[in-house]
Structure 1
Amino acid sequence: MTETAGASSEPAEDISLTRKKRTAGIMLALLVVLMACVFSTLDNAVTLRHASGTDIGQWPRLLLAFSGLAAGFVFDIRKRKYMGLIMYCVMMMSVLSIVVLNLGAPFLIGLVVFYLSSGFFVVFFTAGFMELSRHMRLPSLWAGMGRAMNNVSAALIASGSVALLSTGNSLAAIVIALVLFVAVSVAMAVYTARMNAVMEPKEPPASQKSDEERREAFIAKYGLTEREWDVFSQMISSDSSAQEIADCLFLSKRTVERHISALYEKTGAKSRITMYLLYRND
């Protein structure tokens, strides 16, 4: 009865994990879309100022390069544990820039924030989808989705964003920026929770044997001697030749070959791979 319950609980756990992966993917895609809306709006605000005659030169490109490098280092702190939180703070700074620009703040603020935040955004969606792809059924599809989502989103909202900024309706731009920020906050919270669940290491089943228990059981099952076990462990853990195994165990090559013949005979295996599978599936 217990075995049946355990067997039926495994598929349920797999289904639950699959749902968490799917939710994490959807939330990450939604995050990229929402953030692309904010950054595209900030980009258009900078572009419109530039088109009106404000000369910005080439130095902002250095900010973009610096922010990309900085994001790579900062996001990797504690194995990307704080990547979502850091990106959320960058997002908050970008939204505040849109607000203060529409309230008449100096153009330079928006320029600096845009180029600094853009590098973080690119690294965020690239690293986020690359990490997620490792847990998905079609990793090659998910790995490149960040760039695709960003480009499509930016293309779709570009004209609307420019039209809104061109009207000079600062209140509408501020309200939309704040609504996007709230949406990002919700999506980020859900994505972080689901991604943590996906990456959470699974606890091994209670019935799983330890390495020592597996070793003792295998030796007893096939009647191996301690020296035969030493040779066996070398065979399944490397592709070393008989001579190399002999050198490692301080035996003669002929002795090792004799042990190998005995191992094949006792286990009934025809190759090292078969031996390895016998041991792992025992």
Structure 2
Amino acid sequence: MPSAKSGYTFFLSIYYLYISIYIFFYTYGFISIAPRTGKPELWASVGRPLSDLFTAVISVIMIRLGTDDAGSTPFFFTLYYVLLLIVLYMLMSFINTDPNLSEAGAGEDADGDMDTGAVLSMDEWLDNYPLTPRERDVAFLLIESDAPIKAIAAELGISERSVYRFAASIYEKTGADNRTGLVKKFISK
């Protein structure tokens, strides 16, 4: 028969596991949702207080489970899992149907690549300048990535010297002084 101390240690270890998951999940979840909301500074900071609230609730349940008789243990586990399912359901429905979410608020997807809206707006922005098709390809890569000229040349299958010539022509046509200026002009469009 296990001692009371081993039961307490078992529930304490479960408690620490759950709390670490809550802190990470809520903090990361709300930070990733924040850029797509109307008030990102508010939503980015919600994860930490919410994880603290769950820490308090779970600590009461775990301490109660570790110190109470075995008769109420199934009741508390059932209560805990029902509460967990309700919270997860509410969180998932909030993520999918929040009216404050805007598609234009997020400029990048999870991979860090430009999303479709940004690509279309880049095409529209490049249409404002008389660029050749190859210059458009080079301009797209100059703006989209921070890869060195050598990598851009390899991706397009042309020489570095050609990329430098195309870049100089792009800078002249757009009125940018350099690559950073080109990116700033695109962002400030």
Which of 47, 51, 63 is matched with 2:3 structurally? 47
Deviations 1:175-216 (A, max 9, x none): x446534542542233112221354496736xx974664354
Separation in 1, partners of 2:47, 2:179 = 32
- Structure 1 or 2, whichever has the larger Rg, is 1
Q: Give the corresponding residue for 1:263.
A: 170
Q: Which runs of 5+ in 1 are unaligned?
A: 1-44, 51-59, 61-110, 166-172
Aligned residue number for residue 193 of structure 1: 89
How far residue 140 of structure 1 moved from its aligned partner, in angstroms, is 8.9
Q: Distance in 1 between matches of 2:181 and 2:95?
A: 32
CA contact (8 A) 2:130 2:173 kept: yes
Q: Which residue of 2 aligns with 1:204?
A: 103
Judge conservation of contact 2:129–2:173 (CA < 8 Å) in 1. Answer: yes
User: Following TM superposition, by how much is the alpha carbon of 1:126 offset from its aligned partner in structure 2, in angstroms?
Assistant: 2.2
Whether the 8 Å contact between 2:22 and 2:54 is mirrored in structure 1 is no
Alpha-carbon distance in 1 for matches of 2:117, 2:66: 60
Q: Which has the higher helix share?
A: 1
Contact 1:219 1:225 in 2 (8 A): no
Does 2:80 align with 1:184? yes
3-state SS, counterpart of residue 158 of structure 2: coil
Distance 1:133 1:271, change over 3 A: farther
Instruction: Name structure 2 gaps, 5 residues minimum.
Output: 32-43, 105-114
The answer to whether structure 1 residue 237 and structure 2 residue 140 are counterparts is no
Q: Which has the higher contact order (CA 8 A, sep 6+)?
A: 1
**Percent of aligned positions with the same letter in both sequences?**
17
Q: Relative to 1, partners in 2 of residues 1:46 and 1:147: Cα closer, same or farther, differing over 3 Å?
A: farther
2:182 counterpart letter in structure 1: M
In structure 1, distance between residues paired with 2:14 and 2:66: 22
Q: Is the 8 A contact 2:26 2:51 kept in 1?
A: no
Structure 1 pair 119/256, CA: closer, same or farther in 2 (3 Å)? same
Distance 2:55 2:90 in 1: 22
